[in-house]
């Protein structure tokens, strides 16, 4: 824990801003099809490419995304991440193992797949953030990181509405209800809206952030995969303060739910998404979203096809104070 004197150096935010202009990204140094995660991630697909070709294309997409975000005024910290003796094929999706807060807290979370636990490199994360002038006052583990019996994969499974202090979460193997409630209490969230999902395959969605996204004034959600009784409850909660864009399961499969609202250095709102998602949204849906920020489509087709995650999964929001 952090000494009170250090904590007092960081004033409490006057208003909890929902979107940030700073993100952390991790280069895809070991990127390839991850057989361990494919057990419950139906979004992963193999391509007729060698591992080396996959890595080269993934690195081109990653660098292009970093450049595009910076060009639009987003502060991108590229984490110092080197290859180790054991591969980490999904390290390009850092939002599954940590989250940050404006009070200087970094939370670490237990992940379900053993080869994903190797991604947790706290020293590299903290040094990369400090080098960019951010204050890390406290690092806190949620659950057992090394040999977990239950899992909570950070903002992959928790969709946070910071303004209304509410977390939305689709329960699954990767989202344990008790750990979810523990984190919500410790991080100061007032309400947790959890629900069960069932896709056309009969399986639960593996991560909440492929089926829904919440911005300051909007929400995108594939509500048709939520059981009817719970669906009404979730939509009722969202509709109190959000323009709700309902997407189909087919649109979800194109990662329309895997989008993120950010701000640039001029405090203008942006909504980042993959090119696949942008093309799958209808004109009417895009018109609604444009009321809440400039739409920024990014080509990450190799990463999202092989990795089963898209633009939002590649971005770990950085709310830390400077």
pLDDT in tens, 266-282: 999 999 999 999 999 99
Q: Kindly state whether residue 5 falls inside one of the protein's structural domains.
A: no
Arithmetic mean of pLDDT, 236-255? 97
How does pLDDT run across 8-34, given as a tens digit for each residue? 444 444 356 799 999 999 999 987 765
At 299, is the secondary structure helix, strand, or coil? Answer: coil
Scan for tokens 């989008």, then name that residue: 259
Three-class DSSP category at 282:
coil
Structure tokens at 64: 């292009």
pLDDT, greater one: 219 or 32 = 219
Tokens representing 280 are 């799958």
Residue 258 has pLDDT above 80, yes or no: yes
Q: What are phi and psi of 199, to 5 degrees?
A: -80, 175
Judge whether 283 lies within some domain: yes
Residues of the domain holding 50: 17-317
More confident: 208 or 8: 208
Nearest CA to 268 among 233, 296, 301, 294? Answer: 294
The pLDDT value given to residue 116: 87
* Predicted local distance difference test score (pLDDT) of residue 30: 87
285: exposed, middle or buried (C-beta count within 10 Å: 0-12, 13-18, 19+)?
middle
Is 205 part of any domain? yes
The answer to whether residue 8 sits within a structural domain is no
Give the confidence band of 75 by pLDDT, cuts at 50, 70, 90: very high
Average pLDDT rounded to a whole number, residues 144-152: 93
Max Cα–Cα distance, the chain, nearest Å: 56
Residue 285 lies in a domain: yes
Domain harbouring 69, CATH code: 3.75.10.10
Query: Do residues 160 and 167 lie in contact, with contact meaning Cβ atoms separated by under 8 Å?
Result: yes
Rg of the chain on CA atoms, in Å: 18
pTM above 0.85, yes or no: yes
Q: Is residue 141 part of a domain?
A: yes
For residue range 186-197, list pLDDT tens digits in order: 999 999 999 999
Overall number of domains in the chain: 1
214 in a structural domain: yes
229 is a domain residue: yes
Confidence band (pLDDT; 50, 70, 90) for 38? low
Least-confidence region, from 29-43, 143-157, 159-173, 175-189: 29-43
Q: How far apart are CA 322 and CA 145, in angstroms?
A: 28
Give me the sign of the Cα torsion angle 174, 278, 67, 293: negative
């Amino acid at each position: 824990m952090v000494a009170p004197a250090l904590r007092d150096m960081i004033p409490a935010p006057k208003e909890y801003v929902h979107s940030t202009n700073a993100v952390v990204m991790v280069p895809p140094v070991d990127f390839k099809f991850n057989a361990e995660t494919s057990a419950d991630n139906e979004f992963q697909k193999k391509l007729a490419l060698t591992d080396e070709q996959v890595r080269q294309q993934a690195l081109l997409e990653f660098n292009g995304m970093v450049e595009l975000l910076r060009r639009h005024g987003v502060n991108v910290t590229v984490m110092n991440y080197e290859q180790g003796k054991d591969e980490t094929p999904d390290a390009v999706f850092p939002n599954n193992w940590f989250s940050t807060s404006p009070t200087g807290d970094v939370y670490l979370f237990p992940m379900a797949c053993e080869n994903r636990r190797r991604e947790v490199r706290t020293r590299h994360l903290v040094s990369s953030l400090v080098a960019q002038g951010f204050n890390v006052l406290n690092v806190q583990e949620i659950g057992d990181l090394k040999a977990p019996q239950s899992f909570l994969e950070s903002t992959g499974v928790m969709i946070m509405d910071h303004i209304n202090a509410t977390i939305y979460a689709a329960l699954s193997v990767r989202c344990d209800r008790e750990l979810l409630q523990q984190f919500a209490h410790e991080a100061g969230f007032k309400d947790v809206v959890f629900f069960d999902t069932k896709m056309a395959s009969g399986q639960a969605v593996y991560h909440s952030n492929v089926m829904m996204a919440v911005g300051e004034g909007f929400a995108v959600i594939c509500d048709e995969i939520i059981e009817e009784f719970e669906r009404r409850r979730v939509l009722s909660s969202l509709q109190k303060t959000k323009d709700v864009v309902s997407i189909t399961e087919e649109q979800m499969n194109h990662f329309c739910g895997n989008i993120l609202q950010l701000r640039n250095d001029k405090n203008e709102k942006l909504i980042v998404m993959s090119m696949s998602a942008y093309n799958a949204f209808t004109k009417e849906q895009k018109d609604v979203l444009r009321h809440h920020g400039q739409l920024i489509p990014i080509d990450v087709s190799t990463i999202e096809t092989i990795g089963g995650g898209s633009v939002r999964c590649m971005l770990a929001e950085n709310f830390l104070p400077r």
